[in-house]
Amino acid sequence: MADYQSYYVPEQSKWPIIATVGLGVTLYGAASIMVNSTQGASTSSAWFVFWAGILIMIYMLFGWFGSVIKESRSGLYSPQMDRSFRWGMSWFIFSEVMFFGAFFGALFYARVFAVPWLGGEGDRGSSNMLWEGFQATWPLINNPDPEAFPAPESVIGAWGLPLVNTILLVTSSFTVTIAHHALKADKRTKAKIWLGATILLALVFLFFQAEEYMHAYQELNLTLESGIYGSTFFMLTGFHGFHVMLGTLMLIIMLIRIQKGHFTADNHFGFEATSWYWHFVDVVWLGLFIFVYVI
Amino acid sequence: MSAVAGTHAQDQHHGPARGFSRWLLTTNHKDIGSMYLIFSFTMFLLGGTMAMVIRAELFQPGLQIVQPEFFNQMTTMHGLIMVFGAVMPAFVGLANWMIPLMIGAPDMALPRMNNWSFWLLPCAFLILVSTLFMEGGAPNFGWTFYAPLSTTYGPPSTTFFVFAIHIMGVSSIMGAINVIATVLNMRAPGMTLMKMPMFVWTWLITAFLLIAVMPVLAGVVTMVLMDINFGTSFFNAAGGGDPVLFQHVFWFFGHPEVYIMILPAFGAISQIIPAFSRKRLFGYSSMVYATGAIAMLSFLVWAHHMFTVGVPVAGQLFFMYATLLIAVPTGVKVFNWVATMFRGALSFETPMLFAVAFVILFSIGGFSGVMLAIAPADFQYHDTYFVVAHFHYVLVPGAIFGIFASAYFWLPKWTGHMYDETLGKTHFWLSFIGMNLAFFPMHFLGLAGMPRRIPDYALQFADFNMVSSIGAFMFGATQLLFVLIVVKCVKGGEKAPAKPWDGAEGLEWTLPSPAPYHTFSTPPEVK
């Protein structure tokens, strides 16, 4: 056991319990906002609870990650600890993949089964009795019940902004890898430049995505409420956009950390985990581009 | 210990902190394991109380105690609390306590995250239980929360229910990540994968299932949330969605979930039966592969919960055959347990009693499962008490007896004292009789056509329901005895040796009883 190094078991920590309180308060606030506004009651106190929870969460994130960074930089972590982090991050990303899988599944089910059945096709074509004369199309721009769910006038084409966004995001996957190689070669200025470029691409992506949403809501009447196309479109791209936002924040923090002199050529898992996450976000986008926009 | 800088390394040898902060801030796998177990038993009693309300109402035909609305809330909350509050946390508690001891690790791989996984649970259940006191009452659509019952017709508290499920999901996923990282990365030198105790193996596979399906549950509750509050139409055909979509996504989570609740029990039973048979486990590697096969198949069978909803015939056939296939690896396991006992020097202490009852009664639950898997027959059984009988037979003498067996098996290691064997056996026999009395008549009720989830029923079902209720009260009351047994065992009793069971094997028995606060700071060598 010559290569054995003691595994770092942290002392008592206040961060998990703060995280629990933070998450609980945030979600309780969010639920109260939703319930109160559906019932037409005032939501101001619920918003207060929600933001209080968010503040606790931000405080916790800085504190918890801060102490992990401090421990890492003071050399408390062994290679074995590093492997635990790697397993942790990989399985976390796998869980995220499965989360997106649920929404992709809903999209496929609606396209391949539910909508054609409502249009009278296949084994369960008798569903057509519900709204006789309903014609199944995809993208669904004529809902079965247009009064309950006013249909969109049209949908976002693939070859405009979405194509630009695809190019942006794929490029950013390359730039973050260049930055990673630079960091490994201890060329920190180069790493900073390429990481900065990645962040820039990410921000432009987010800007275009916001632009696209405004276009959809204001001009196309494509909204969350416009039937299953709008539901799947906004939930998939919305959750993806949220993840891009998170990833961008992570990248910005990595840039700050490099600036502050953190990371060495062979010890920079924080950076690596962020780049894994970034590649994951990129791959999900490719799935979105193909299945939501193109096909 | 090698030269690790700072004071932290030395602190590891301190005992636990004093006062409540020990529990609130702890990073110790044993503390966290104990908290999980205590929490889970508390939830077991709470969910059990709701079951008592259900059985009291069903004691006689007619409405006597509660209103139908409240009855529905009770069935829903009973299911949710038992699944997410009692069974799952109990296994995570056992994993926390035992996995590091079994593989010779100093703690779980990510100790702070471990603490967070635990404390999220009381938070989630606080929100869930608080829905009982909200306007419109608690969720009333059954634990499966089918749309449109939960979307169009759900009470306002459904939104809170959704967020409670989200928090439970976060907790489970982090708990599972921790288990995987621990098992894959923290094994003592020499402990290869195929030398791991079965309990560790089954938990590794369970953790994989958890990470694969809890996010899908999060996805489906999110769709429910959006349909309720933001006008989406995932489950509304008027907008091109489909309520059946709900069932597909839900059961894609739900079916692996039932294996999440039973695989760790398989593992524990595979530790206990060899110990009291004084023989090695028969067919260790086939046990490992069977567990893996069950886990893989569990992803391909979800629509067997939905035969009557109108799945195309080809789909029904596929899901029927795939489901029947699960009987094969499960049969391998049952065969191996029986073969382990065959010609063993058996003794029947409480853990072994629970384990043997597990093998027999779980098999009964498995057989009724095979009946339900056959699509044409399922049309008859669907949504009857036969289904209730089936899943209570796999969950009560399956999961719960597995947990009790584990608790009695490892209590001496946890507390340093032997539990009271007479009381333990009494607990077993009363549970055994009560549970069979409660659930066996449900088979007959279901076959005779009594639907599930109703507060009142036709007169011809009266006798069996009364028997069932008496059995349920007996089973419920008996569980208070377990509190007494555990409290007695923690407070005192005969000193337990390091290895109280002479047939037991594994690293956990090389440690003194009770296990010291920090163990295996230097990993043992496994040959």
What is the domain partition of chain A in residue ranges? 1-77, 79-294
C-alpha dihedral sign at B142, B146, B152, B158: positive
Spatial neighbors of B241 by CB under 8 A, at least 6 apart, are A110, A114, A227, A228, A231, B232, B233, B234, B235
Contact B35, B118 (CB under 8 A): yes
> What secondary structure does DSSP assign to B108-141, as a single string?
-SSHHHHHHHHHHHHHHHHHHHHGGGSTT-S--S
Give the position of tokens 């095979």.
B370
**Residue B311 and residue B224 share a domain:** no
Residues of A in contact with B109 (CB under 8 A): 84, 87-88
d(C-alpha A225, C-alpha B1), whole Å: 61
Mutation pick from A84, A111, A269 vs chain B, by most beta carbons of B within 10 Å, is: A84
pLDDT for position B513:
93
The pLDDT > 70 percentage for chain B reads 97
Touching check for B105 and chain A: CB below 8 Å?
A: yes
Nearest to B210 by CA among A95, A280, A87: A95
In a domain, B90, yes or no: yes
B34 in catalytic set: no
Give yes or no: B390 in active site.
no
What is the C-alpha to C-alpha distance for residues B90 and B38, in angstroms, rounded to an integer? 8
Interface test with chain B among A1, A3, A7, by most B beta carbons within 10 Å: A7
Residue B54 near residue B70, CB atoms below 8 Å:
no
- List the CATH number of the domain containing B178: 1.20.210.10
Q: Which of B87, B86, B100, B89 is nearest to B28 (CA)?
A: B100
* DSSP symbol at A136: P
Closest CA to B218 of B252, B241, B243: B252
A20–B240 CB contact, under 8 Å: no
Across the interface, whether the CB atoms of B211 and A94 are under 8 A apart is answered yes
Mean pLDDT, residues B62-70 taken together: 95
Closest CA to B182 of B117, B271, B273: B117
In tens, the pLDDT along B204-230 reads: 999 999 999 999 999 999 999 999 999
More confident residue, A291 or B6: A291
End-to-end CA distance of chain A: 56
- Taking only the tens place, the pLDDT of each residue in B120-179 is 999 999 999 999 999 999 999 999 999 999 999 999 999 999 999 999 999 999 999 999
Residue A123 C-alpha, separation from nearest chain B C-alpha, in angstroms? 6
Q: What pLDDT does residue B520 have?
A: 93
Does residue B40 lie within any of the structural domains? yes
- Would you mind telling me the total number of residues written for chain B in this entry? 527
Contact A98 B215 (CB under 8 A): yes
- Give the pLDDT of residue A273: 97
Query: Chain A partners of B124 at a C-beta cutoff of 8 Å?
Result: 24
Give B8's pLDDT tier (boundaries 50, 70, 90).
Answer: very low
- What is the DSSP code (8-state) at residue B85? I
Mutation target vs A (from B233, B249, B250, B519; most A CBs, 10 A cutoff): B233
Residue B107 burial (C-beta neighbours within 10 Å; 0-12, 13-18, 19+) = buried
* Fold topology of A79-294: Four Helix Bundle (Hemerythrin (Met), subunit A) (1.20.120)
pLDDT in tens, A260-281: 999 999 999 999 999 999 999 9
Average pLDDT, chain A: 94
DSSP-assigned beta bridge partners for residue B417: B495
Mutation site, B232, B311, B313, interface A, largest A CB count within 10 A: B232
Q: Give the residue among B87, B124, B144, B75 at the shortest CA–CA distance from B259.
A: B87
- The pLDDT score that the predictor gives to residue A170 is 97
Q: How confident is the model at residue B13 (pLDDT cuts 50, 70, 90)?
A: low
B443 and B488 both lie in a single domain? yes
A74-124 tens-digit pLDDT: 988 999 999 999 999 999 999 999 999 999 999 999 999 999 999 998 878
Tally A–B CB contacts below 8 A.
259
Whole-number pLDDT of residue A221:
94
Q: Which two tokens stand for residue B363?
A: 């098999």
Please indicate if any CB of chain A lies within 8 Å of the CB of B236: yes
> Which chain B residues contact residue A140 at CB under 8 A?
240
Q: Does residue B3 carry a pLDDT above 60?
A: no
CA A293, CA B15: separation in Å to the nearest integer? 59
Bridge partner residues of B457 (DSSP): none
Element (H, E) at B427: helix B421-447
* B400 shares a domain with B474: yes
What is each CA distance from B287 to A55, A280, B56, B281, in whole angstroms? 49, 35, 41, 9
Checking if the pLDDT of B311 tops 90, the result is: no
H-helix or E-strand containing A275?
Answer: helix A269-288
What pLDDT score was predicted for residue A5?
63
Give the residue from B210, B233, B261 where a domain finishes. Answer: B261
Residue B252 shares a structural domain with residue B383: no
Q: Is the confidence at residue B478, as pLDDT, over 60?
A: yes
Domain range for residue B306? 272-281+297-510
Bond into B514 cis (ω within 30): yes
Answer whether residue A125 shows pLDDT above 80. Answer: yes
Residues of B in contact with A238 (CB under 8 A): none
Say if residue B73 is in the same domain as residue B181.
yes
Give A79: exposed, middle or buried? Use CB within 10 Å, 0-12, 13-18, 19+. exposed
B256 and B366, same domain (yes or no): no
Q: Any CB–CB contact under 8 A between B15 and chain A?
A: no
Sequence-distant (6+) residues with CB within 8 A of A16 are: B25, B112, B113, B115, B116, B119
**Which of A86, A98, A242 is the best substitution to test chain B (most B C-beta atoms within 10 A)?**
A98
Choice among B195, B425, B452, B488 that is catalytic = B452
Evaluate if residue B10 carries a pLDDT over 70: no
What's the total number of domains in chain B? 2
From B156, B219, B226, residue closest to A102, measured CB to CB: B219
Q: Are A10 and A71 in contact (CB under 8 A)?
A: yes
pTM score, whole prediction: 0.95
Residue B7 pLDDT > 80? no
Residue of A nearest to B126 (CA): A24
Q: Say whether pLDDT at B524 is over 80.
A: yes
Angle B11-B96-B340 from CA coordinates, rounded to 5° = 135
Q: pLDDT tens across A219-243, in order?
A: 999 999 999 999 999 999 999 999 9
Residue A9 pLDDT greater than 90, yes or no: no
CB pair distance less than 8 Å for A6 and B2 = yes
Q: Are the beta carbons of A74 and B223 separated by less than 8 Å?
A: no
Is pLDDT at A3 greater than 90 in this prediction? no
Q: Which residue of B has its CA nearest to A108?
A: B245
Nearest to B25 among A13, A123, A232 (CB): A13
Q: Does this complex have an ipTM over 0.85? A: yes
Does B511 contact A at CB distance below 8 Å?
A: no
- Helix, strand and coil content of chain B, in percent to the nearest 5, comes to 70, 0, 30
With respect to residue B20, please indicate whether it lies within any of the assigned structural domains: no
Structure tokens at B247: 């069932």
- Respond yes or no: is residue B36 known to be catalytic: no
CB–CB contact B106 A98 (8 Å): no
Instruction: Burial-class residue B170 by CB neighbours within 10 Å (0-12, 13-18, 19+).
Output: buried
Report the gap between the CA of A153 and the closest CA in chain B (Å): 15
CB atoms within 10 A of CB B71: 21
Contact status, residue B404 vs residue B469, Cβ threshold 8 Å: no
pLDDT digits over B413-439, tens only? Answer: 999 999 999 999 999 999 999 999 999
Mean pLDDT of B247-266: 97
For residues B253-262, average pLDDT? 97
Nearest to B31 by CA among B95, B96, B124: B96
* pLDDT, position A295: 87
Q: Are B249 and A105 an interchain contact pair (Cβ–Cβ within 8 Å)?
A: yes
Q: Rg of chain B's alpha carbons, rounded to an integer? A: 23
Q: What is the pLDDT of residue B11?
A: 45
Which pairs from A188-195 meet CB under 8 Å and 24+ separation?
Answer: A188/A258, A191/A258, A192/A255, A192/A258, A192/A259, A195/A251, A195/A254, A195/A255, A195/A258
Confidence check: pLDDT of A30 > 50 = yes
Q: List, as one string, the DSSP characters of B237-261.
A: GGGT--HHHHHHHHHHHHHHHHHHT
B454 in any annotated domain = yes
With CB atoms and an 8 Å threshold, state whether A103 touches B241: no
Cα gap A47→A45, rounded to integer Å = 5
Among candidate residues B40, B117, B151, B330, the one labeled active-site is B330
Nearest to B12 among A9, A114, A143 (CB): A9
- Is B259 a catalytic site residue? yes
| B244 touching A (Cβ < 8 Å) | yes
Statement to judge: residues B385 and B404 lie in one domain: yes
**Identity of the residue numbered B136:** G
What residues of A are in contact with residue B214 (Cβ under 8 Å)?
Answer: 95
Q: Taking the CB of residue A39, how many other CB atoms lie within 10 A of it?
A: 11
CB contacts, 8 Å: A227 with chain B: 233, 239-241
pLDDT at residue B527, rounded to an integer? 78
Residue A164 — very low, low, confident or very high, per pLDDT cuts 50/70/90? very high
B window 24-43, beta carbon within 8 A of A: 24-27
Q: Which amino acid is at B485?
A: I
Q: Average pLDDT of chain B?
A: 95
How is residue B431 written in tokens? 């549970």
Tally of helices (H runs) and strands (E runs) in chain A: 8, 0
Distance from CA of A30 to the nearest CA of B (A): 9
Which residues, 6 or more positions from B111, have their beta carbon under 8 angstroms from its beta carbon? Answer: A9, A10, B27, B28, B29
**CB-CB neighbours of B477 under 10 Å:** 13
Say whether pLDDT at A145 is over 60: yes
CA distance B477 to B472: 8
Average pLDDT for B287-297: 97
Could you read off the pLDDT of A45-65 as tens digits, one per residue?
999 999 999 999 999 999 999
Q: Are B525 and B190 in contact (CB under 8 A)?
A: yes
Which residues from A are below 8 Å from B523, CB to CB?
A: 1, 4
**Per residue, what are the HEC states of B195-215?**
HCCHHHHHHHHHHHHHHHHHH
Asked whether residue B69 is domain-assigned, the answer is yes
C-alpha to C-alpha distance for B149 and B228, rounded to whole angstroms: 11
Question: Is B170 part of the contact surface with chain A (CB cutoff 8 Å)?
Answer: yes
pLDDT confidence of residue B12: 47
Q: How far apart are the first and last CA of chain B?
A: 21
